[in-house]
């Protein structure tokens, strides 16, 4: 059962949700830094590092995986069952990776 694509999609959806929940407080702190220009400038200098850009890319991919995984779950719940639903897992993953690739191209351009 745990080798089934649906189980792996379930697991990715839950883990990406946890990662996003852990990120949200950090994001709100950075927004708070925007009130003090010097602190924000220091953070933005730090955020320009390649390791931070890589982490941002991973975060964007996780967000896209969570979004498309959630849409897949809605489709499973609201649409009639079909054998193509396993294909939707692949399409959701491909769409998430495409969003991540778009982010990489845009952030390093």
What's 28's domain CATH number? 1.20.1300.10
Backbone angles phi, psi at 84, to 5 degrees: -75, -10
User: Angle, nearest 10°, between helix axes 37-47 and 5-33?
Assistant: 140
Q: How far apart are CA 98 and CA 67, in angstroms?
A: 13
Q: Worst-scoring range by mean pLDDT, 65-69, 82-86, 100-104? A: 82-86
- Reported confidence tier of residue 109, pLDDT bands at 50, 70, 90: low
Q: Taking 80 as the threshold, does the pLDDT of residue 86 lie above it?
A: no
Which tens digits make up the pLDDT trace of 14-29?
A: 888 888 888 887 877 8
Q: Which of 101, 96, 30, 27 has its CA nearest to residue 63?
A: 96
pLDDT of residue 47: 83
Cβ pair 93, 65 in contact under 8 A: yes
Cβ pair 58, 105 in contact under 8 A: no
pLDDT of residue 1: 65
Residue count of the chain, please give it: 109
For 54, the domain range is 5-107
Q: Taking 70 as the threshold, does the pLDDT of residue 99 lie above it?
A: yes
Q: Taking 80 as the threshold, does the pLDDT of residue 36 lie above it?
A: no
Count structural domains, the chain.
1
């Amino acid at each position: 059962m745990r080798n089934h694509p649906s189980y792996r999609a379930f697991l990715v959806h839950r883990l990406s949700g946890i990662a996003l929940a852990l990120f949200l407080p950090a994001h709100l702190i950075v927004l708070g830094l925007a009130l003090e220009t010097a602190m924000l400038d220091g953070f933005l200098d730090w955020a320009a590092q390649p390791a931070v850009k890589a982490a941002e890319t991973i975060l964007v991919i996780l967000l896209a995986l969570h979004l498309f995984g959630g849409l897949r779950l809605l489709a499973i719940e609201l649409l009639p069952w079909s054998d193509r639903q396993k294909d939707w897992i692949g399409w959701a993953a491909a769409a998430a990776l495409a969003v991540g690739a778009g982010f990489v191209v845009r952030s390093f351009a």
